[in-house]
Amino acid sequence: KKHIWRLRANPHDPAYNEEQRLVLNGKSHLENIPWLAPGHLATFDCSATNGDGQRFISVEGHLRMLGAIQPFISGASSKTCNMPSGATVDEIEKSFVLCHQMGVKCIALFRAESKANSVYQVDTPEGRRYDAQNIWKQLVAVTQSVLETERNKYSGPVRRKLRGRRLGQTVKFSLAGSHKGYLSVGVYPDGKCGEVFGRIGQSGTYSSGVLDAFCKAISIQLQYGIQLDDILHDFRYMAFEPSGFVIVEDDNEDGRAAISSCSSVIDLMMKILDYLFPLPNRTIRPLNTQLEMPLGSGGLNIRPEPVEQELEMEGREGAMDQEGWNAPSSPSFRAANLCPRCNQLTFISDGHCKRCTNPSCLYKDGGCGE
C-alpha cells in the first residue's frame, strides 16, 4: 500500500520500473489486453482517453446517437458531448451543422480543459484525484465545517417567545401618594413569567419611558432563560427617588397586597414580581376570584377556589391603618426628582419646600407660598 501511495505521489519515481508501475498503478484502460477481442474494445470506450490509451468515443458518435433518438421524442434530449482539448473552431462549427442536419434540437459541447472545473475527470497514473488519502482529507474537512456550523447555530442561547395569545395579570400600584402606575406580566403555559410591562405616570414622560425600556430588557432576559430569582436578587433594594409608602392593589379581602414600601420604582417592581411569582416554583399566583360563566354557555371555571395564604412582609417601613395612610414628605436632594404632577425630572428642593421648574407645570409643595 505504501508503494502505491509513493508511486501516485511521484509517477516517474526511478525506483520502480515500467512493469512495477503497471502492477501498482494499472493502465487506466483496457487496450492491448491479449485475451480481449479487438471487436469488443468499443464496448468499453469512454468520452476521453485514459492513461496512455488511444481509444475514445468521437464527438460525431455522440451527435449521431442524438440524431437517432430525436424522431422518437417530442422535446429535446439532454446530452453533453465532450471534445478533446485540441478541438478547433472548425470542428466545433461542423458539430453544430451536423446536429442541424439530423434535426437535433439542442446540443451541449464541452472542450476538455476549457475551464478550471471540468465536467468530468480522467483518472490517470500521472494525476489521480481520487486516491484514499485525498478523499479522506476532503471528507474530514467537510465534516468539520458542517459540525462547526451546527455548533455555532445551536450553542448560543435560544429565545423562547410567548404564544401570540397568553394568560397574564395586571397589578395597579400607587407610590408616594401621587405616582400611579400599572405592572402587567405574561406567563408561559407552565405558569412561569415570560414578559413584563410597566407604566407609571403619563405616557411619553421620562419616567414612563425608562420603566418601559427596563421592562423590555427584563422580558428579553426571561425569554433567553435567565431565572427570575437571579433578576430579583440583582435589582431588588435599589434606592432612588421616588420612594416611600406604596399601595399595591389585589383581589383579596383587603384589596391590597402585602407590600407597604419601596426604595425605588425598580425595587417596587421586584417586590411585585416576587409577590406574583412566589417560591418555591415561581409560578403565577392564582386569582382569588372566580370567572362567572352564564348557565349553559359551556364555559369552564378557570379560576381556583379562594385559598387562604399567610404572607410574611420583609422590610416593612411605616404603618398602615384601615382608613388609609399618610406618605411622609420626601427628604431634600441636590439632584432633581420626579414631579408628582408632570412626572418630569424637574422637582427640586428650594429652601423649605419643593417646586417644579417645568414652565408648563410649576408645581409647588411643602408650604411654599405662591
Quick one: 38 exposed, middle or buried, by C-beta within 10 A (0-12, 13-18, 19+)? exposed
DSSP string, 246-279: EEEB-SSSSSB-S--EESSHHHHHHHHHHHHS-T
Regarding whether 125 and 82 lie in a shared domain, the answer is yes
Regarding whether 141 and 7 lie in a shared domain, the answer is yes
> Does residue 315 fall inside a structural domain?
no
Residue 2 has pLDDT above 80, yes or no: no
Domain boundary among 254, 286, 318: 286
Regarding whether 282 and 225 lie in a shared domain, the answer is yes
How is residue 228 written as a grid cell? 427570575
Regarding whether 146 and 41 lie in a shared domain, the answer is yes
Regarding whether 71 and 9 lie in a shared domain, the answer is yes
Q: For the packed helices 59-69 and 89-102, what is the interaxial angle rounded to 10 degrees?
A: 20
> Does residue 70 fall inside a structural domain?
yes
DSSP string, 57-84: --HHHHHHHHHHHGGG-SS----EEEE-
Residue 289 has pLDDT above 70, yes or no: no
> Does residue 43 fall inside a structural domain?
yes
3-state secondary structure 192-237: EEEEEEEEECCCCCHHHHHHHHHHHHHHHHHHCCCCHHHHHHHHCC
Report if pTM > 0.85: no
Quote the number of domains for the chain: 3
Regarding whether 177 and 279 lie in a shared domain, the answer is yes
> Does residue 224 fall inside a structural domain?
yes
> Does residue 321 fall inside a structural domain?
no
Regarding whether 62 and 135 lie in a shared domain, the answer is yes
User: Which domain range does residue 71 map to?
Assistant: 2-151
Regarding whether 282 and 171 lie in a shared domain, the answer is yes
Least reliable range by pLDDT among 77-81, 103-107, 246-250, 312-316:
312-316
How is residue 85 written as a grid cell? 482539448
Regarding whether 8 and 145 lie in a shared domain, the answer is yes
Domain boundary among 267, 286, 305: 286
Residue 79 has pLDDT above 60, yes or no: yes
Closest CA to 49 of 27, 71, 26: 27
Q: What pLDDT, on a 0 to 100 scale, did the predictor assign at position 217?
A: 93
Q: What pLDDT, on a 0 to 100 scale, did the predictor assign at position 263?
A: 86
Regarding whether 200 and 61 lie in a shared domain, the answer is no
d(CA 263, CA 330): 12
Specify whether the CB–CB gap between 242 and 210 falls below 8 A: no
Residue 118 has pLDDT above 80, yes or no: no
Specify whether the CB–CB gap between 185 and 196 falls below 8 A: yes
Confidence of residue 317 (pLDDT cuts 50, 70, 90): very low
pLDDT digits (tens, 9 = 90+) for 125-166: 444 555 556 667 777 888 888 888 888 877 778 888 888 888
Mean pLDDT of 2-18: 65
> Does residue 320 fall inside a structural domain?
no
How is residue 203 written as a grid cell? 405616557
Backbone phi, psi, residue 364, to 5°: -125, 150
pLDDT digits (tens, 9 = 90+) for 334-354: 457 778 777 777 888 776 778
Regarding whether 16 and 146 lie in a shared domain, the answer is yes
Q: What pLDDT, on a 0 to 100 scale, did the predictor assign at position 330?
A: 38
Regarding whether 167 and 97 lie in a shared domain, the answer is no
Mean pLDDT of 66-88: 84
Stated as kind and residue range, the H or E segment containing 182 is strand 179-187
> Does residue 313 fall inside a structural domain?
no
pLDDT digits (tens, 9 = 90+) for 198-236: 888 777 778 888 888 999 999 999 999 889 999 999 888
User: Which has more pLDDT, 322 or 246?
Assistant: 246
Q: What pLDDT, on a 0 to 100 scale, did the predictor assign at position 369?
A: 53
Mean pLDDT of 171-187: 87
Specify whether the CB–CB gap between 340 and 176 falls below 8 A: yes
Beta-bridged to residue 350, according to DSSP, are 353
